[in-house]
A and B are shown apart, each in its own frame.
Chain A
Amino acid sequence: AQSVTQLDSQVPVFEEAPVELRCNYSSSVSVYLFWYVQYPNQGLQLLLKYLSGSTLVKGINGFEAEFNKSQTSFHLRKPSVHISDTAEYFCAVSEETGGFKTIFGAGTRLFVKA
């Protein structure tokens, strides 16, 4: 069975500072990895995904994430955040050959301060 752990429930950061949101996963098979963003009172929106190939993936809004198979991690980063990045971010995992069942982490609330 898969599981996802987001190591920080809340991350406060000042505007224009860098940020890293941490995600670790557990699975006995190869996986696909995702980050989703949820703005207040909205549904989730896909931020980026890792399916195969380069371990550094770039997404929308200047975010990127790095897949580290040996550490079973998929941390999300942005070099300079904006107030508008304030949202909740979810890491998710899906088995490559297990259909499309996707397991989500508990979420990390990013709060960007002026």
Chain B
Amino acid sequence: NAGVTQTPKFQVLKTGQSMTLQCAQDMNHEYMSWYRQDPGMGLRLIHYSVGAGITDQGEVPNGYNVSRSTTEDFPLRLLSAAPSQTSVYFCASILGTVNYGYTFGSGTRLTVV
């Protein structure tokens, strides 16, 4: 069981570039989320999905898009990267019946210059 797999692990972007952070899980979890982690601010919810075809915004959705075409995959798109998006991004999933706690990926460290 791979759990939650995030790629890439590291990425440097120039301001204005776009990119997609990949997230895949093999546990048949219905609920998936994207968080960003910044020093002193904990984790902030960007977008989440309760199942294939259904997504919604979290606390800090501006500048990001998501889609959920399959149960397994939940990519996060940065439309036009800005230095304020420099952060560590985590994808996480929950089975989807009761919130027994997230399974997290290992993260993507993104730097926007």
Residues on A lying within 8 angstroms of B by beta carbon are 4, 6, 9, 32, 34, 36, 42-46, 49, 51, 90, 94, 99-107
B107 CB contacts on chain A under 8 angstroms: 42-43
How many A-B residue contacts, CB cutoff 8 Å? 61
B48 touches A107 (CB 8 A): no
- Contact residue among B45, B98, B103 (Cβ-Cβ distance under 8 Å from A101): B45
Q: How many residues of B contact A (CB 8 A)?
A: 27
**Cβ B45 vs Cβ A103 within 8 A:** yes
Contact A32-B99, Cβ < 8 Å, known A44-B104, A100-B94: yes
15 sampled A-B residue pairs with Cβ under 8 A: A36-B101, A36-B104, A43-B105, A43-B106, A44-B43, A45-B104, A46-B101, A46-B102, A94-B99, A99-B31, A100-B33, A100-B48, A100-B96, A101-B48, A104-B44
B94 x A90 contact (CB < 8 A) = no
Residues of B with Cβ closer than 8 Å to A? 4, 31, 33, 35, 40-45, 48, 50, 58, 90, 92, 94, 96, 98-107
Which chain A positions have C-beta within 8 A of B50? 99-100
Residue on A nearest B91 in the bound complex, by CB = A43
Across the interface, which residues of B come within 8 angstroms of A42, CB to CB? Answer: 106-107
